[in-house]
Amino acid sequence: MPSFTEARGLILDRVAPLGIERVGILEAAGRILAENLEAPWEMPLCDNSAMDGFAVRAADCTTIPVSLKVAGYIPAGGEVSGPVEPGCAIRIMTGAPIPPGCDAVVPVEETEGDGDAVRIVAPVKERQHIRFKGEDVAAGETVIPAGTLIHPPEISMLASFGKALVPVFRRARVAILSTGDELIELGSPPVPGKIINSNTLSLAAAVRQCGAEPIILGIARDDRESHREKLAEGLRADALITSAGVSAGDRDLVRDVLAELGVEQLFWKVDMKPGGPTAFGMYGEKPVFSLPGNPVSTMVTFEIFARPALLRMMGHRNVVRPFVKATLREDAKKKAGKVNFLRVQVTQRNGRLEASTAGDQHTGILRTMVRSNGLVLLPLEASVVPAGTEVDLMILRDDATMLEN
C-alpha cells in the first residue's frame, strides 16, 4: 500500500498541463502564464519626471539660492517643446517627459515663487528625480517567464506592454459524481437513512477554489447501469472525481465499472487516515480520482491528491501545500501503524504557529472539519504525540495564520 507521498507522486508523474488559451487580461488573474512575456518596447519609453516641480539644468544651480526664468509648462501627458536655454526652468508634472537640455528636476517644495521666475532653494544634483528611459525594463527582456502565477503586479506589467489578451493554461473541466442509493439531492426533506448529497457540492466548491471548472453529474445509483452511464459521461471531462463506493461494501461498484470502461488503476488504498480507501486511475491522459464517501475523507483526499493534480494540469508549478513546523498544544492519540491527518485549529502566538485539535477526530465527524483550518501529520509509528511536540502542519486556509490567540 503506498504512503500518501508515494500515491501523490504516482499521480503527479502522470498529469501534465492542458492546452493554452488566450483570455482577457482580467480573466488572467490567478491563472498561469503560458508563454514568456518579452517586452515589446522599453519602459519607461522616455526620460520623465518623478516629481511635480521644475526641470532645470543642474549646471545653472551650483550656487543656491538661484532664480531661473520659467520658460514653459509640461503637464503629465504633455509634449516636449524645443530645448531649454541656460538660465531657464520648465514647470513639470510627475510623469511628464524631461525637455531636452534639462538634467534634473527640483520638487516644488524646494522652490519659491519669484514673479516670472522660480527661486531654487535647495542644492541640485545632476539626474535627481528623473526616471530614465528603459531603467525599469529593457526592450526584448523576458519580464515574466512562462509558468508564473498571475497576480496584480503581473497584470500591471502585461497591461503596460499592451497585452489585452493573455496566453494562459486552460482551466481543467472536472466532472464530479457522487454514488449511493442513500443519497438525496439538496432541497429534499431530511429522511432517516437518507443523506443529502453534500460531497458533490463540497467537491465542486473545492474544484472552483483551485481555479478549475466543476461539471456536476449528479448521483449514480447502486447498479452497474447507472454507474456505467454516469462514469462514461464523466470520462469526457479533463478529470473525473467520484465519491463513495470504493471501500469493501458489496455494492462498491466504482472501481469495477471504471475498469470495464478502460480506466487503468494505479492504486487502491493508501496508508493514511482519513482517506484510506482512495483509488486512482488514468483514462488515457485523464486522471480519475475515486475518493471515499465520508465527507471528511472526501475533502481531505481532495486536498492531498486531487488539488495538486488539477493545479499541475492548469500549469502551476507549486502544486503541493508545504508542511510548516508548528507546536502541538494537546496530546494526540492514534493507532500505531498508520499515518493520520489530525484536523486542527492553527493559531499564531508571538509569531510561532500552534495547532490545537479541532475536536473529535472520527472521520464521520464533519463539525471537526468545519472547525479546522489545517492538518497535522501524525507519523506512522506514533501512538501518542505529546503536547509540545514540533509537528508538520499543512495550512488549508489562507487566512489561518492571521489568527493571533
Ligand X SMILES: Nc1nc2c(c(=O)[nH]1)N[C@H]1C(S)=C(S)[C@@H](COP(=O)(O)OP(=O)(O)OC[C@H]3O[C@@H](n4cnc5c(N)ncnc54)[C@H](O)[C@@H]3O)O[C@H]1N2
Contact 227, 254 (CB under 8 A): yes
CB of 207 to ligand MOO, least distance (A): 20
Q: Does residue 401 bind ligand X (CB under 6 A)?
A: no
Helical ranges in 221-365 per DSSP H:
224-234, 254-260, 295-301, 307-313
Choice from 144, 157, 244, 326 touching ligand X (CB under 6 A):
244
Task: Examine residue 65 and say whether the peptide bond preceding it is cis (omega within 30 degrees of 0).
Answer: yes
Q: Phi and psi of 111, rounded to 5°? A: -135, 165
The site partner of 312 among ligand MOO, ligand X, none (C-beta below 5 to 8 Å per kind) is none
Of the pair 17, 245, the CB lying nearest ligand MOO is at 245
* Stretch in the footprint of ligand X (CB under 6 A) among 5-13, 115-123, 247-255, 324-332: 247-255
Taking contact as CB under 6 A, which single stretch among the options 11-19, 157-165, 274-282, 335-343 is the one that binds ligand MOO?
A: 274-282
Point out which span in 159-167, 235-243, 267-275, 343-351 binds ligand MOO (CB under 6 A). Answer: 267-275
The footprint of ligand MOO on residues 290-309 (CB under 6 A) is 292, 294, 297
Q: Does the protein bind ligand X through residue 292 (CB under 6 A)?
A: yes
All 3 cell numbers of residue 34?
Answer: 503560458
Nearer to ligand X, 287 or 315 (CB): 287
**Residue placing its CB nearer to ligand X in the complex, 340 or 401:** 340
182: contact with ligand X by CB under 6 A: yes
**Smaller CB separation from ligand X, 113 or 364:** 364
Looking at beta carbons only, is 66 or 380 nearer to ligand MOO? 380
Kindly write out the interface string for residues 328-357 of this chain, putting x where it contacts ligand MOO by CB under 6 A and - elsewhere: ------------------------------
User: What H or E segment, with its residue span, contains residue 325?
Assistant: strand 323-328
Strand pairing category for 88-92 and 173-179: unpaired
CB of 359 to ligand MOO, least distance (A): 15
Min separation Cβ 368 and ligand MOO, Å: 12
Binding mask 358-387 for ligand MOO (x = CB under 6 A): -----x------------------------
Q: How far apart (Å, rounded) are the C-alpha atoms in residues 302 and 308?
A: 9
2, 274, 295, 308: which one binds ligand MOO (CB under 6 A): 274
What one-character-per-residue DSSP string does 19-84 give?
A: -EEEEEGGGGTTSBB-S-EE-SS-BSSS-EESSSEEEE-GGGGSSSSEEEEEEEEE-TT----SPP
- DSSP classification of residue 135: S
Assess 306 for contact with ligand X (CB under 6 A).
Answer: no
Does 273 sit near ligand MOO (CB under 6 A)? yes
Q: Any contact of residue 183 with ligand X (CB under 6 A)?
A: yes
DSSP per residue over 165-229, as a string? EEEEEPPPEEEEEEE-TTEE-BTBPP-TT-EE--HHHHHHHHHHHTT-EEEEEEEE-SSHHHHHH
68: which residues sit within 8 A by CB, 6+ positions away?
Answer: 54, 56, 60, 61, 87, 88, 89, 117, 118, 120
Is the CB of 86 or the CB of 193 nearer to ligand X? 193
Among 58, 66, 93, 195, binds ligand X (CB under 6 A): 195
For residue 324, what are the contacts with CB-CB under 8 A and spacing of at least 6?
Answer: 353, 392, 393, 394, 395
Task: Find which of ligand MOO, ligand X, none residue 374 binds, CB within 5 to 8 Å per kind.
Answer: none
Residue 331 near residue 386 (C-beta atoms within 8 A): yes
Strand partners, 213: 173
> Which grid coordinates belong to 144?
515574466
Give the binding range for ligand X (CB under 6 A) out of 5-13, 22-30, 95-103, 191-199.
191-199
Which residue, among 230, 209, 207, has the nearest Cα to 218 in the 3D structure?
230
Contact residues for 132 (Cβ-Cβ < 8 A; gap 6+): 44, 47
Interface residues with ligand MOO (CB under 6 A)?
273-276, 292, 294, 297, 363
Binding-site ranges for ligand X (CB under 6 A): 178, 180, 182-183, 195, 197-200, 243-249, 252, 276-277, 292-295, 297, 363
